[in-house]
Amino acid sequence: MTAILEPDAAQRGVLQAMLHGSVAFADPAGLDEHIRSAANEFAVVIGPSVASETAAELAQWARVHRPDLGVILLRYDVDSAALSLALRSGMREVVAARDLAGITTAVARARSVASAIGQTLLDEVQAAAQTARAEVAAEVAQAAAVAQAEADAPRGKVITVFSTKGGVGKSLVATNLGVALARGGHSTCLVDLDVNSGDVAIMLQLTPQRTINDLVGFNGVIDAEGIASILTHHSDNLMVVAAPVRLDSPDQASVDDIGKLLDALRAMVDFVVVDTSGVFDDNALCALDRSDLIVLVGTLDIPSLKALKLATSTLDMLNFPKATWKFVLNRADGKVGLTADEYEKTLALKADCSLVSSREVLAAVNRGEALVSAYPGHPNSKALVAFSKDVIETLGASAAGEGDPSSRKSSGSRLRLRRG
Ligand SMILES: Nc1ncnc2c1ncn2[C@@H]1O[C@H](COP(=O)(O)OP(=O)(O)OP(=O)(O)O)[C@@H](O)[C@H]1O
Ligand SMILES: [Mg+2]
């Protein structure tokens, strides 16, 4: 549509008759209101009686707010003043008022310019929408690829050996479980989180050059290369992250470092066996949080039962699922006026492994050998090896190496490769 602004009634009548389907206004206010409401307007013809200032104002407004609107200025004399006014204010054309053919041609040109602008805008909107759609599709595909990669990534299992009492046999169970898993062909890393008096290294006769506190030097970047540099080698399949050798070690690994260590180890080995200190501290919680299995250890006596009862109710309260717990009853043959049966009932847990008190346990510790290696025929060794198989079975075939000698080999050598 075309809008006309012309105060002179006769002139306005001529213009309106000439431009079919046009609307005409005598004053700028009427025109202004019309343009704001008619989005399909493509041309404004400013009649020859309209003052130059009014015409300039209108054209300047249109230049900013409606660039698709062609403003055509009609003047009785198309002189340099009219042309410069049109140029300054961004009018499309200046036509002599008597040049009727020129006026209709200018309006036709305004129509085609408006439709070209409209088409360009439409193309741009469609192109932008297409780009946005493509970006969303690419993001979805990337997220799916990341999720798939995470799902496909080898995922070692974390087993935390825990109790809230000292001296009950946690380190005995952790070291023997670690050695039994490794001897079964599974790459395993024992992590000694008893940072104040850990004795995993001593029990396995290892002399660690670097310990868990060396994580501090990594400044939070704890990756496979860094971890490999702090591991102490026990056998092809068994590594140890030892507890600090010196108690006055100035820098203690933070709980954040320990979390990153356990997460990274999952990708490096089949099993991460964590030995804890016997306290519900941040380090223990950090390991428990990441555990696929929690091995609770207690000895057959009232103080240990009381401590375990407290530990299990706390674990329950913290929503650690009972299905992920295993219970090892140590010194189950003790004659202390409390039967294993009563113990289990009070604790509401059946022992998954029972160990007897035996001199060989201490003898093996003194030799710096795991019981399962030093005395393979000992009832405790048999029970611990059977327990390690039960652990593997519980954790399922998802544990790399389970029942598959080729992948066992590759996961074991993956660890060895990263050592250097
Ligand atoms: N069944 C057993 N027969 C004989 N000695 C045992 C038995 N179980 C554990 N011990 C001995 O008891 C001591 C404590 O065992 P261990 O270090 O495994 O317990 P812990 O729970 O790790 O203790 P801590 O809380 O101090 O780390 C060790 O000297 C160990 O050899
Ligand atoms: Mg211990």
Domain boundaries, the chain: 2-120, 154-417
What is the identity of the amino acid at 288? L
Rounded to the nearest 10°, the torsion over CA 110, 114, 117, 121 is 170
Q: Is the CB of 194 under 6 A from ligand 1?
A: yes
Looking up tokens 């519980």, which residue turns up?
394
Instruction: Give the residue, by CA position, lying nearest to ligand 1 atom 8.
Output: 169
Q: Is the CB of 166 under 6 A from ligand 1?
A: yes
Cα of 278 from ligand 2 centre, angstroms: 8
Q: Extract the tokens encoding 383.
A: 């029970």
Instruction: Tell which atom from ligand 1 comes closest to the C-alpha of 173.
Output: 18
DSSP 279: S
Among 160, 163, 165, 171, which is best to mutate for testing ligand 1, by the most ligand atoms less than 8 A from CB? 171
Measure the N-to-C terminal CA separation of the chain; round to a whole number of Å.
80
What are the mean pLDDT values of the chain's consecutive 10-residue runs (420 residues total)? 93 90 93 87 94 92 88 93 89 91 91 82 84 88 81 83 94 98 96 93 95 93 95 96 80 93 95 94 94 96 93 92 95 87 94 97 96 98 98 73 34 31
- Quick check: 38 and 64 in contact, CB under 8 A? no
Q: Extract the tokens encoding 55.
A: 């015409």
Cα of 359 from ligand 2 centre, angstroms: 18
Sheet holding 271-275, edge to edge: 232-235, 238-241, 188-192, 271-275, 157-162, 293-299, 325-330, 353-354
- Quick check: 171 and 199 in contact, CB under 8 A? yes
Instruction: Give the residue, by CA position, lying nearest to ligand 1 atom 3.
Output: 357
Distance (Å, whole) CA 274 – CA 288: 9
Q: What is the pTM of this model?
A: 0.65
Instruction: Tell which atom from ligand 1 comes closest to the C-alpha of 163.
Output: 21
Instruction: Tell which atom from ligand 1 comes closest to the C-alpha of 355.
Output: 1
Instruction: Give the residue, by CA position, lying nearest to ligand 1 atom 18.
Output: 169
pLDDT digit string, tens, across residues 192-201: 999 988 999 9
Looking up tokens 């039962």, which residue turns up?
305
How confident is the model at residue 156, as a pLDDT?
A: 93
- Quick check: 71 and 44 in contact, CB under 8 A? yes
Instruction: Give the residue, by CA position, lying nearest to ligand 1 atom 29.
Output: 362
Q: Which CATH architecture has domain 2-120?
A: 3-Layer(aba) Sandwich (3.40)
For the 154-417 domain, the top CATH level (class) is: alpha beta
